[in-house]
Chains A and B, each alone.
Chain A
Amino acid sequence: MQISVQSLSHTYPGRPLRPALAGLSFEIASGQFAAIVGPSGCGKSTLLRLAAALLSPSGGRLAMDGEPPQQAARARRIAWMAQSPALLPWLTCRANAALAVRFHRRDTPSRLTPEEALRRTGLADAAGAFPFTLSGGMQQRLALARTLLLDADLWLMDEPFAALDELTREQLSAELLELWQPLRPTVLWVTHNIHEALRLADRVLVLSPRPARLAADISIALPRPRRENDPAFQTLLAELHRALGLAAITGAN
């Protein structure tokens, strides 16, 4: 799914003096994995909520394959994953996955069964377990299985692994990449972890402090899996650091 953002602005009602987004513009090609980084509170999550049609923008335009987000959402072409795994605690893993099938995209039949999605995310043995018996990493795996079941064209991911420990986070993001590569949906991945952004994404969009504007747009052409000790990785890391520093200064003025 191709995404086009044109002078997008958003101000929350009751806070007219602190717009979250002010004139944000960028384009993302279909199948691209785009990481969105920026200082905390800069409006990254607002951008994602606008894309999921959970919010309506106060100005500008957001288009998905030329259509407004509401339309893409109604066709159920969008998957949503956030920091909270958002599992139904009264349902087993299998039932949680099966529920997602109810909300599968409307134009095609589902390609995966809940069992298959659980197997691919390493949860085959936990199918009958309740979410509260699982570790945080396993819970996010279940959320990932649910995302897979939707066959969506766009994955909106708001720091899905931020609450996990470093080791689990790296492992899960590697697994996510493996699941993503054959399917190639467009991904908008919000993170404040720049190493993670560089390991995963085709492109890193750096946002300025609130109100968010595009401060830098860095393409990452490195083949995956990427190694942090690769000199090219280090160069990009330095560039990203510089961009984030710059972003902070521009925002302050």
Chain B
Amino acid sequence: MSSGQRSSLVALVIVLIFFLAWEASVTLLHTPIYILPAPSRVLQTLGANAGTYAEATLITLGEALAGLFFGLLAGTLLASLLILQPGMEGGVMTLAILLKSTPLVAIAPLLTLWLGFGVAPKVIITALLTFFPVLVNMLSGLQRPDPALLDLFRAWQASRWDIFQHLRLPSAAPFLFAALKISAPLALIGAVVAEWTGASGGLGRIMWLAYSNLNLPFLFAAIFLLAAFGMILYWLLASLEHKIIFWSISIE
């Protein structure tokens, strides 16, 4: 068994122990279902309402991925612009930090007010949330290629654009993946929080409804789905990372 297989087996065992302990303590302590439902009960709810959950998951996941895409695009483009057109970094970063410091929980209802209960405000909130890690990471990646390589390109009298496309952009790829690993889970949170403030569908909507009715198995089923998809997203990114920046991983 390889060390990778062993560590995923260990992870699986730990997760299993966690759920078994949860199940056992809830059963033994007779915890009321409106305080904490047993995992088995949550899974039962999930199975019984598979269609509802599938639809909601599709909406939330769509919003999260669309937001992540736009956040990624905006962050990458802005970081590239700051590198290709130096001197604007101070001003733009101040604006970005201002945006980042504004509580999104406050903006979300506003956007819902302006744009209605559809997916648009959710995508915007998610994009705003995921944009900042991408901007900051891409900027560091683009700014700091290997100094020996930078010397070489400068000795070659390469143009700013040549240095950008042949050196800075590929050098920033590991930073982009680091940003995505932060941003992908944030995207799910962004979509759910935005739905919470008013939506016609999605896991956030289900959670809000379940919470209002103290229907905790329903609430936990949504939480389980979010956690699972957060993890799947992270795994997908990690395996994509191994494929795309194999050169960086091999150097380490």
A residues within 8 Å of B by Cβ? 52-54, 73-74, 76, 78-80, 82, 84, 86, 88-90, 99-100, 102-103, 130, 132-133, 156
Are A102 and B251 in contact (CB-based, < 8 A)? no
Residues 147-170 of chain B: 1 if any A CB is under 8 Å from the residue's CB, otherwise 0?
Answer: 011011011111000100011001
Chain B residue at minimal CB-CB distance from A156 = B155
Q: Quick one: which of B170, B245, B250 contacts A88, CB cutoff 8 A?
A: B170
| Alpha-carbon separation in the docked complex, A54 to B151 (Å) | 7
Complex: how many Å from CA A236 to CA B146? 39
Pair B151/A82 contact, Cβ less than 8 Å: yes
Whether, in the assembled complex, B248 has its beta carbon less than 8 Å from a beta carbon of chain A, the answer is: yes
Please report B residues at the A interface, Cβ cutoff 8 Å: 146, 148-149, 151-152, 154-158, 162, 166-167, 170, 173, 245, 247-248, 250-251
User: Is B251 within 8 A of A80, CB to CB?
Assistant: no
Task: Contact check, A73 vs B167: say whether CB atoms are below 8 A apart.
Answer: no
Indicate which residue in A76, A82, A89, A156 contacts B251 across the interface (CB closer than 8 Å).
A89
Distance in Å: Cβ of B249 to nearest Cβ of chain A: 10
B156 touches A103 (CB 8 A): yes
Given contacts A89-B248, A90-B247, A130-B247, contact A54 B170 (CB under 8 A): no
- The B interface is mostly helix, strand or loop, or mixed, namely helix
Residues in B neighbouring A82, C-beta threshold 8 A: 148, 151-152
Given contacts A86-B148, A102-B162, contact A132 B250 (CB under 8 A): yes
Contact B247 A132 (CB under 8 A): yes
Our pick among B146, B151, B157, B247 for the contact of A103 (Cβ within 8 Å) is B157
CB distance from A62 to the nearest CB of B (A): 15
Q: A88-B166, A99-B166 are in contact. Are A52 and B155 (CB under 8 A)?
A: yes
A-B contact count (CB 8 A): 52
Given contacts A88-B149, A88-B166, 15 further A-B contacts (CB under 8 A): A54-B151, A74-B157, A76-B156, A78-B155, A79-B155, A80-B151, A82-B148, A82-B152, A84-B146, A84-B148, A99-B166, A100-B156, A103-B157, A130-B247, A132-B250
Would you give the shortest CB distance from A164 to chain B, in whole angstroms?
16
Roughly how many angstroms separate A84 CA and B166 CA in the complex, as a whole number?
A: 18
How far in angstroms is the closest Cβ of chain B from A200?
A: 21
Q: State the CA gap A90–B151 with chains docked (Å).
A: 18
20 A-B residue pairs with CB within 8 Å: A53-B157, A54-B151, A73-B155, A76-B156, A80-B156, A82-B148, A82-B152, A84-B146, A84-B148, A86-B148, A86-B149, A86-B151, A90-B170, A90-B173, A103-B157, A130-B247, A130-B250, A132-B250, A133-B250, A156-B155
Given A86-B148, A88-B166, answer yes or no on A54-B248 (Cβ-Cβ < 8 Å): no
CB distance from B156 to the nearest CB of A (A): 4
Looking at the assembled complex, report how far the CB atom of B160 sits from the nearest CB atom of chain A, in whole angstroms.
14
* Residues in A whose Cβ lies below 8 Å from that of B250: 130, 132-133
Decide: A103 and B158 in contact? CB cutoff 8 A.
Answer: yes
- Bound form: Cα–Cα A193–B184 in Å: 52
A86 in complex: contacting residue of B152, B162, B166, B248, CB < 8 Å: B152
Residue of B nearest to A73 (CB): B157
